Every structure is written in structure tokens, then in C-alpha cells.
Structure 1
Amino acid sequence: MAHIALYRTWRPQSFQDMVGQRHIVQTLQNSLREGRFSHAYLFNGPRGTGKTSAAKILAKAVNCLNGPGIEPCNQCDACVRITEGAVMDVVEIDAASNRGVEEIRDIRDKVKYAPTEVRQKVYIIDEVHMLTTEAFNALLKTLEEPPAHVMFILATTEPHKLPATIISRCQRFDFRRVALEEQVERLRQVCREEHIEIEEDALSFIGRLSDGGMRDALSLLDQIIAFSGGCVTYDDVLSITGGMASDQFERLVTAVQNSDVGAALKLVDDFMQEGKSADKCMESLIYYFRDLLMVKMVPGSQAVTERILDIKRFAEVAQRFSSDALISMIDTLNYYQTEMKYSVQPQTLLEVALMKLCSGSSQAGASSAQTQGGSASNAAAPERQDGLIGQLMNRIQKLEEQLTQVLKQGVAPSGNAPASGSSRTSAPAPVVTRKSIEKLDGYLKGKDDPAIRTVLQQWGQVLGRVKELKITVHAWLVDGEPVSINDGNLLVAFKSAMHRETTEKPANRQLIEQVMAELLGQPYRLVTVMLKDWKAAADQSKPVDEPKEEFKLVPEDTQSADGSVKEEWISEAIQLFGEDLVKIKED
């Protein structure tokens, strides 16, 4: 017999088998006990938490030949056939692939007919948020006043996409993520019934990786059993999932605290040699620092005890850092994790992030010493350092504001600053100096290059591809236009200084150059200029105007046979109408 996946084998067949949804089970059982079940239900919550399973159990409970009762018997013909999906009156519809108005109209036309096999017609619409607006409108009236023999059960992971008119016509049940303790207990039961030996740490790690989804936990367990056989260890789980043990992170954190860049990079290289991915390492590292912060700030929280196996060991590591230092590290890692999504070298970004953490570890250590009660001078040192940093940041901000103002006035950034004691009021400078023209000289010669015309024809494709990869970069780049090519450099002129500056950031420039190499057929280096500067340079590079030749309209006279002179238009009139009809009058 073919192997059946664990999540299908262990799918709940009764309310008592459901894991972690006690508030929903109790409400539905009370309704069944009193015969007060509704005509429409909305089950919403994260994936793998039991929404569709609860819908099928409810369909069996209302149609059980030994009921209706608080539990289906799972033995009568109705329960068995509903479990097998062989009852025509219990219909399960996937709204993701049947989202049109025609499918819903078909349901609307059939609900009026009485059930033929069981006492209650049940329509289970999974992923109902995928229905179109027209389909929702077609469902609306039927959902509000269906026949007495019909029950609708809508299931979705995104209830916010449903119209309020649909939600208001249903009894809503919010499914929650399954608690780690309940997940571990169910996994332990599955392993016991399947005759699988597994370590407790492995069970807990599988539960944490599933993020509250029981189906995900069972699927992951099934995969690990296929790898390990009848005996599953914690190391097996780490190997198959790409995870990393906490002691590896502890060594990495120690290297960061000691500013030991070499040791940190060596650990990263070891991770890569073991087959770990850079993005997975970054994600796990962020979670590790998050756990350290939680242990430090809320040591007794349930969120801490569910995720961390050895609280005491984490607490010892957390004492090495201040809360502010941990928050700063998480911010740094989060920034590089975002950039990693669009980088062709994710490992490099991971290494850069760790080097940045190592360079800032001295400040973290000082803050930690202050937290642990150092001397008065040591306690004041971070404050003085913070004050100095604040002053520097203020000065940088003022300089940026002054530079922006200068650029708005059209003054070249390379202009000399006024000497001390000179007048503050300066005459308006020219928009483009001769020096800047010389810098653009090669581009001015290349503005008529056939290659730039090819780039302009494909620029729309470049913008479209950039938008697919990172829409924010597209928002900045769309302000510019290619104007010239010179020595493998593509010059793009921008109307806005802010758009130009943002486009020139290393990560954004790398993405744009990658797309240009992909679509233009050869690599180009992105060079930028302000559009007004480019136009001014182009105007100043033109040669001095030569005296223009004056053009005058001089009528050509024609001479008739008798020697008289006739203008050309008179001759044309005579040719068209003949001499007998044309009369010439002198003004």
C-alpha cells in the first residue's frame, strides 16, 4: 500500500481530535447539543490550524445517522461516506480555482433542491477570499436567506479581503496558532503510534519551526522520518531543516562581543560549507538576538519559554549586552536581510552585517558595563559618547541641508567655499562651469551614438524589470532618462536631486546595473547627472553662431511672346484657364 502523508493520516475526524482550538470546539458542540447551529459559518485563521477539518467534522455531526450530536460517530454510512468525499450533498469547493460568478450562480441555482442522501446540504468553500466581486454579489442573497436544509461554511486565511456584507451574515470563528506545548504533545503521540523514537529537543524544534501550524509540523516530521528512519535525533532535524544549534550562535555572539571579525567570518564560512544558506542564517540570527532581548527584558514571558529550550544559558549570554545594543543589532541585521533579497551575493551581505556588529561591539560592551554597575566614570563614558555622536549627527544634517539649498540655487557642488571673513552674500553662480563641461565632454560627444538610441528603445523594459525586482528603486529611477553613453558608462539625467541621490546608493545602483546588463546585452556602469546641468552643458558646448544667411522670396518673372514680363503665377493662371479668360489689371 502506498504511503499516505502523516498530515492526512492524522487529520482530525472528530472534535476531540482537534488540537489547540478548544474555544471553537466548545462553541460548536454546545450549538449541536441544543440544535441551534447556524446556516452560515466563517472559519478564519493561519494555515494548518484545522479550519477545513473542523468544517468536515461539523458536516458529519449534523448529518450523522446516530445524531445530530456533539460528535460524529464516524461509523454510520453517512459519516463514512462524508469522510471519503462520496456524498453529493456535502460539497467542498476550492474558491482559488472556482472563483468566477458562474460557479457561484450554479450553487445558487442548486441550493433550492432538497438533499437526496443526508438530512443537511453543506457547502464548504475553502479560500473564499479568492472569489471575485461579482461572485460575492451572487452569493450574498443566498447566504443571507438560504433554504432550511442548507449550511454554508466559508474558510479563509485572509478575512480582511471579504466584504463586510458577507462577514455580517456568518458566525465568525477565529482559529489560533497552536501552542507549542500542544503541538509537541500531538507530535509525541504520532511518533508513539508510528513506532518512531525521537528526542524531546527534536520535537520542540519541529514545533517552533512550524510557527503554530499543526499541518506544517506533521509535514516536517514526515520529511525528517524519511531522512532518519525509525530514530530521529536533534542533529537530524537541524541537518534536514538547515537550522543551526544554539551553541553555534553562542560562539558567533562571542566573536561579535570580542570584535573578533576573523572568528565571525570563519563561522560563516563553516555554515556555508555545511550547506546552510545565507538568508536562512540571517533569519536564524535575528531570531537568536530576539530571544536574547526577550530573555533580558521579559524573562518570565510565555513567548520566551515556548521558543527557548535552555533559558538559563540564554540568560547568561544576554547579560553580556545591554537592551539598546541588542535592539541596534536587530535593526542592523533586519536592514541587511531586506537588502539580501535583491542581492546576487547574499553571503557577502551576511559577512558585512557581522563585521558591522563587530565594529559596534565596544559600545555594546560599555553599555553592558553600565548596566552591571560599573564605576561612575565608566557609566558616564557611554553618555559622553552618545552626546558626541548626537552633535556629529546634527552637524551632518545641517551640512546636508546647506548642500541641498546650494544645489537648488544651481551652484556647482565643486565650487570653492567663501573664505572666513568674506561677505556672506554671494552673486548667483553660473549653472555649469567650464570644469563641469570638461567632465561631460566625452558624454556630449557620445549623445548621438547609435548605442544610446538602442538603450532608449529598451529603457521601458529596463524600468519594468526593475519594478518587478524592487518597486521602490523603480520609483526613483523613473525620474531619470538616458542621455549619453561614453566608455561603457550610461549617463542618466534626473530632474530631482533626491531621486538622483537615492538611485546612486550602492544597493540600488547594483540592482539597476544588473538589470541593464541582463536586458541591454552588455554591462553598463550607471552614471548620473542633473537634467538642468546636462542641458546647460549641451548649450554651452555648441559653436558660436555664424552669420545667418537671409532667405527672401524672389518671384521669378517670365517673359511672354510679345516681350512683356509676366509673373510666374500669372503664367500658371493662363495655362489653367487660357488667355481669353484671364484679364490682368495693374495696381
Structure 2
Amino acid sequence: MAHIALYRTWRPQAFQEIVGQKHIVQTLQNSLREGRFTHAYLFNGPRGTGKTSAAKILAKAVNCLNGPAEEPCNECANCIRITEGAVMDVVEIDAASNRGVEEIRDIRDKVKYAPTEVRQKVYIIDEVHMLTTEAFNALLKTLEEPPAHVMFILATTEPHKLPATIISRCQRFDFRRVSLEEQVERLHLVCHEEQIEADDDAIRFIARLSDGGMRDALSLLDQIMAFSGKHVTYEDVISITGGMASDQFEQLIQAVKRRDVAAVLQLIDALMQEGKSADKCMENLLYYFRDLLIVKMVPGSQAATDRIIDVKQFAAVAESFTTQELISMMDTLNYYQTEMKYSVQPQTLLEVALMKLCSPTSGEAPAGPADASGGAAGRGPDGLVAQLTGRIQRLEEQLAQLQKQGAAPAAVGGAGSGPSGPTSRSAAIPAAMKKSVEKLDGFLQGKDSPDSKAVAQRWSQVLGRVKEQRITIHAWLVDGEPVSVCDDAVLVAFKSSMHRETTEKPANKQLIEQVMTDVLGKPSRLVTIMLKDWKAAADQAQPAESGKEELKLVPEDESPAVKEEWISEAIQLFGEDLVKIKED
């Protein structure tokens, strides 16, 4: 006969066989005894805790020939056929694969017909949260007022995904995770009935790995029995599950405490050679530090004794660390565990995490992404305070430096100190600006030269050629205007600093200089400046005039420079192809 999986062989067939759900069993049995069972139930809870099994037992209890009773007899024809899944009136539906509105409409159309084989028609809808919104809407009215011969039992692991209108029409039962002691007792019973010898340490470790799911524990026991044969040992469980034994943990933690990086790396390499996975080792390390922390802070806690086999040994290891050290180490491991999900080299991250624990600054949290000042953003409270303090100090130093560079305001009153005097003009410009003015001497002298005027006239051609080669660079360069030429350098003033910075990028600047060389017919370099800085430098370079300026009217025909300036601006705005020059 073919082997049947343990979790199927040991599926509960009566309420008294359900493990760890006493509160639910008692409620259902009382309602069956008093005949007060309702038309709709919602069973929700973690996987492997008995939701579907309880639904099938309830279906047998209401249809048992010797009932309805607190327990199905499992001997009558109805109970036997429901267990085998041969009764057409007890329908189990997988909502994950029958989630559409058409399947629910089919149920809605069929519920009005009376059952043909048993007294109560039962619909068990598993993973009900997978139904679509339209399917839920189709189920609403039927679920609220079904015929007297119909019962709905909905099962789900994610009740928060169900509409409130569905939940309010059901009696809700929350299944909990099965406690470690209840799992151990059940596993010992299974081993006894299957004639398997199992060490208590091995059974407890299996129960810990199942995370409160009885089905997971039975599946794991089945796998280990296939490996071990008739005797299950703790070493077998460690070997088959890829876990780490407590003595390996202790060696690793002691090496971390001694800050012995070489020993830590050797232990990690040995674990990898044994076939352990880096992410599993990281997860087990986090659990181990969690247990150390609980033993240290709450020695008699049930949360510690449920998971720890030798509490005294844990207490001895926990005494060698302070509480803050354990919390910081857990924070570091948690950070690298998160990063491990996106890494192609998880073993390297495991090694880095443990080397971080061995470092003298292991009490600090790991560094995150760089902040605006170029440093690493600390994750712990102490590191964050130190980082903010350092940033404040740097800002204060920069502010003091800027204040030293700025000039004192001009004195009010006195000869030569008025707003239009040379003293106030030079005092209003910072020292940094004075340095730039000195570098601009050649451009200031040549701003009205024939070369500058020639570049200004041909600038629209430069823009057009740049637009043909790279339209994105043209979008940045159009913000600037040529203001002067000095030797082979063309000075372009920009209104926006962002446009200027983008134009200064090496690739963009190289293309612009090549275009200027082609259009102007000689080698040309691009030099940039902000327009406001250029105007300030030009104003400072103008000599002070004591007298009033003489106003002179110039006829339009006698000002070709003005006319050329308007023509250049029109070409720059609309393009050379759209501008036509006509003589009057």
C-alpha cells in the first residue's frame, strides 16, 4: 500500500483530536448540544492550525445519523462518506482556483435545492480571501439569508482581506498557534503509534521549527523519519533541517565576545561546508540573541522556557553580555538580514555582519545611506545624536567662515561714503566677488570689442548648430548669452545656476566648444558666469562719474548696432529659418 503523509493520516476526525483550540472546540460543542448552530461560520488563523479539519468535523457532526451531537460517531454511513468526500451535499471549494463571480453564482443558484443524501447541505470555502470583489457581492445576500438546510463555513489565513459586510454575517472563530508543549505531546503520540523512537530534544526542536503549525510539525517529522528510520535523534533533525546546534551557537557567540575574527570566519566556513544556508544561519542567530535577551531580562518567562532546552547554559552565556550589547547586536543582524534578501552573495553579508559584531564599535548601529553632508546616517539613537552634533558644528564653522569673507557695511555720513560713492560700492561686494572681478579683467576690457560683437551676432547660428546635434544641450545653453570675448575664450552669462552647471559638464562643454570653433572659424573655449555676477563686476569696473551724464538723441537710422542687436535677439528667439530681414 502506498505511503500516506503523516499530516493526512493524523488529520483530526473528531473535536477531541483537534490540538490547541480548546476555546473553539468547546463553543462548537455547546452549540451542537443545544441545537444553536448558525448558518455561517468564519474560521481564520495561521496555517496548519486545524481550520479545514474543524469545518469537516462540524459538517459530520450536524449530519451524523446519531446526532446532531457534540462529536460525530465516525461509524455511521454519513460520517464515513463525508470523511471520504463522497457526499454531494457537503461541498469543499478552493476559492484560490474558483474565485470568480460565475462560480459563486452557481452556488447561489443551487442552495435553494434541498439536500438529497444528508439533512444539512454544507459549503466549505477554503482560502475565501482570494475571492474577487464581484464574487463577494454575489455571495452577500445568500450568506445573510440562506435556506434553513444550508450552512456556510469560510476558512482563511488573512481575514483582514475580507469585506466587513461578509465578516458581520458570520460567527467568527480565531484559531491560534499551537503551543510548544501541546505540539510535543502530539508528536510523542504520533511517534508511539508509528512505533518510532524519538529523543525529547529532537521532538522539541521539530516543534520549535514548525512555528505553531501542527501540520508543519507532522510534515517535518515525516521527512526526518524517512532519513533516520526507527530512531530520531537531535543530530538528525539538525542535519536534515539545515539548522545549527546550540553548541555551535555558543562557540560562535564566544568567538564574537572575544572579538576573534579568525575564529568567527572559520566557524562560518565550517557551517557552509556542512550545507547550511547563510540566510538560515542569520535567522537562527537572531533567534539565539532573542533568547539570550529574554533569559537576561526576564529569567522565568514562559517565552524563554518554551524555546530553550537548557536554560542554565543560556543564562551563563547571557551574563557575559550587557543588555545594550545584545540589543545593538540584534539591530545589526536584523539590518544585514534585510540586506541579504537583495544580495547575490548572502554568505559575504553574514561574514560582514559577524565581523561588525567583533569590531570595537559593535555597540553602534550599522551605517545606512549617506546623508547630505557625505557622512553615514547612524541607525541607533546614540549614533544619530553624535551625527547631528557633528553636522551642527560643521554648519557653525561654515557660517563663521562666510561672515569673515563678507565686508562690513559702509558708514553712514561723511565725505565719499554716500550710496553712489566708490567707498560704498566696493564695500558692498564680498571678498570672493573681488577675486572674480580680478580674473574678469580681460573680459571686462573686451566686452565692447569687435570680436565680442561678432560672437553676439553669430550666437544664433551656434545655438542652431547645437540644437541640430543635441537638442537637450540646446535647452540648457539657450538660457545663456555671450557677453565678452578674451583671446580664444567666449564668456557666456547664465540666469539659472542649474543651466550653467549642466552646460559645464565635460561632454556638453566639449560639444559646444566644437560648434563654436566651426561657426566662428577659430578655436574657441567656453567660459561661464552667472549674469548677476557679470553685471556686478561690470558696475564695479566703471569709474565713478561726478557730473551728470549728457543725454543725446540718436536717430534710428544712425544706430546700426541697435538694429543688429534686435535682429540677433529675434533670430535667437524664433530661429534663423523663420526670421527674414527686409530693408525699408
Q: Which residue of 1 aligns with 2:369?
A: none
Measured after TM superposition, the shift of residue 302 of structure 1 is: 1.1
Alignment of 1:228-307 (within 5 A): 228-307=228-307
Amino acid at match of 1:393: Q
Q: Which residue of 1 aligns with 2:156?
A: 156
Distance of aligned partners of 1:399 and 1:340 in 2 relative to their CA distance in 1, 3 Å threshold: farther
Q: How many Å separate the matches in 1 of 2:394 and 2:94?
A: 56
Partners of 1:177 and 1:213 within 8 A in 2 = yes
Give the TM-score normalised by the residue count of structure 1: 0.68
Task: Give SS of 1:42's match.
Answer: strand
Distance of aligned partners of 1:282 and 1:40 in 2 relative to their CA distance in 1, 3 Å threshold: same
Measured after TM superposition, the shift of residue 162 of structure 1 is: 0.2
Amino acid at match of 1:194: E
Q: How many Å separate the matches in 2 of 1:40 and 1:399?
A: 66
Partners of 1:38 and 1:151 within 8 A in 2 = yes
Q: Which residue of 2 aligns with 1:120?
A: 120
Q: Which residue of 2 aligns with 1:397?
A: 391
State whether structure 2 residue 314 is matched by structure 1 residue 346.
no
Q: How many Å separate the matches in 2 of 1:553 and 1:43?
A: 83
Distance of aligned partners of 1:177 and 1:390 in 2 relative to their CA distance in 1, 3 Å threshold: closer
Partners of 1:257 and 1:361 within 8 A in 2 = no
Amino acid at match of 1:534: T
Partners of 1:256 and 1:361 within 8 A in 2 = no
Measured after TM superposition, the shift of residue 393 of structure 1 is: 2.3
Q: How many Å separate the matches in 1 of 2:394 and 2:39?
A: 64
Alignment of 1:23-34 (within 5 A): 23-34=23-34
Distance of aligned partners of 1:276 and 1:387 in 2 relative to their CA distance in 1, 3 Å threshold: closer
Partners of 2:336 and 2:349 within 8 A in 1 = yes
Measured after TM superposition, the shift of residue 532 of structure 1 is: 7.2
Measured after TM superposition, the shift of residue 392 of structure 1 is: 4.2
Q: How many Å separate the matches in 1 of 2:329 and 2:97?
A: 44
Alignment of 1:471-490 (within 5 A): none
State whether structure 2 residue 74 is matched by structure 1 residue 74.
yes
Q: Which residue of 2 aligns with 1:211?
A: 211
Distance of aligned partners of 1:282 and 1:289 in 2 relative to their CA distance in 1, 3 Å threshold: same
Amino acid at match of 2:247: D
Alignment of 1:340-379 (within 5 A): 340-360=340-360
Unaligned runs of 5+ in 2: 365-379, 408-429, 440-465, 474-497, 521-567
Distance of aligned partners of 1:354 and 1:553 in 2 relative to their CA distance in 1, 3 Å threshold: closer
Measured after TM superposition, the shift of residue 398 of structure 1 is: 2.9
Q: How many Å separate the matches in 2 of 1:330 and 1:165?
A: 42
Measured after TM superposition, the shift of residue 298 of structure 1 is: 1.3
Task: Give SS of 2:264's match.
Answer: helix
Alignment of 1:498-509 (within 5 A): none
Partners of 2:180 and 2:208 within 8 A in 1 = yes
Q: How many Å separate the matches in 2 of 1:200 and 1:531?
A: 74
Larger radius of gyration: 2
Q: How many Å separate the matches in 1 of 2:8 and 2:266?
A: 43
Task: Give SS of 2:303's match.
Answer: helix
Q: How many Å separate the matches in 2 of 1:14 and 1:192?
A: 20
Measured after TM superposition, the shift of residue 531 of structure 1 is: 8.9
Q: How many Å separate the matches in 1 of 2:26 and 2:363?
A: 54
Task: Give SS of 1:75's match.
Answer: coil
Measured after TM superposition, the shift of residue 397 of structure 1 is: 3.1
Distance of aligned partners of 1:85 and 1:68 in 2 relative to their CA distance in 1, 3 Å threshold: same
Q: Which residue of 1 aligns with 2:188?
A: 188
Q: Which residue of 2 aligns with 1:380?
A: none
Unaligned runs of 5+ in 1: 365-385, 407-416, 434-447, 454-480, 484-529, 556-587
What is the CA deviation profile of residues 116-163 of structure 1, one whole-angstrom value per residue up to 9, with x for unaligned ones? 000000000000000000000000000000000000000000000000
Q: Which residue of 1 aligns with 2:199?
A: 199
Partners of 1:258 and 1:361 within 8 A in 2 = no
Task: Give SS of 1:195's match.
Answer: coil
Task: Give SS of 1:102's match.
Answer: helix
What is the CA deviation profile of residues 292-324 of structure 1, one whole-angstrom value per residue up to 9, with x for unaligned ones? 001111111111111111111101100111111
Q: Which residue of 2 aligns with 1:533?
A: 501
Partners of 1:292 and 1:317 within 8 A in 2 = yes
Q: How many Å separate the matches in 2 of 1:153 and 1:387?
A: 49
Measured after TM superposition, the shift of residue 225 of structure 1 is: 0.3
Task: Give SS of 2:306's match.
Answer: helix
Q: Which residue of 2 aligns with 1:443?
A: none
Distance of aligned partners of 1:536 and 1:111 in 2 relative to their CA distance in 1, 3 Å threshold: same
Partners of 1:259 and 1:361 within 8 A in 2 = no
State whether structure 2 residue 91 is matched by structure 1 residue 91.
yes
Measured after TM superposition, the shift of residue 534 of structure 1 is: 3.3
Q: Which residue of 2 aligns with 1:4?
A: 4
Amino acid at match of 1:396: G
Amino acid at match of 2:220: L
What is the CA deviation profile of residues 226-248 of structure 1, one whole-angstrom value per residue up to 9, with x for unaligned ones? 01111110000000000011111
Distance of aligned partners of 1:400 and 1:196 in 2 relative to their CA distance in 1, 3 Å threshold: farther
Q: Which residue of 2 aligns with 1:166?
A: 166
Q: How many residues are paired up?
A: 429
Q: Which residue of 1 aligns with 2:412?
A: none
Q: How many Å separate the matches in 2 of 1:392 and 1:47?
A: 45
Q: How many Å separate the matches in 1 of 2:431 and 2:70?
A: 88
Partners of 2:329 and 2:362 within 8 A in 1 = no
Amino acid at match of 1:397: R
Q: Which residue of 1 aligns with 2:456?
A: none
What's the C-alpha RMSD, in Å, of the aligned pairs? 3.1
What is the CA deviation profile of residues 89-131 of structure 1, one whole-angstrom value per residue up to 9, with x for unaligned ones? 0000000000000000000000000000000000000000000
Task: Give SS of 2:11's match.
Answer: coil
Q: Indicate the percent of aligned positions where both proteins have the same amino acid.
A: 73
Q: Which residue of 1 aligns with 2:40?
A: 40
Q: Which residue of 1 aligns with 2:110?
A: 110
Distance of aligned partners of 1:336 and 1:65 in 2 relative to their CA distance in 1, 3 Å threshold: same
Q: How many Å separate the matches in 2 of 1:17 and 1:23?
A: 14
Q: How many Å separate the matches in 2 of 1:395 and 1:85?
A: 70
Amino acid at match of 2:286: I
Q: How many Å separate the matches in 2 of 1:60 and 1:269?
A: 55
Partners of 1:257 and 1:362 within 8 A in 2 = no
Task: Give SS of 2:99's match.
Answer: coil
Give the TM-score normalised by the residue count of structure 2: 0.69
Q: How many Å separate the matches in 2 of 1:17 and 1:248?
A: 38
State whether structure 2 residue 143 is matched by structure 1 residue 175.
no
Partners of 2:405 and 2:431 within 8 A in 1 = no
Q: Which residue of 2 aligns with 1:514?
A: none
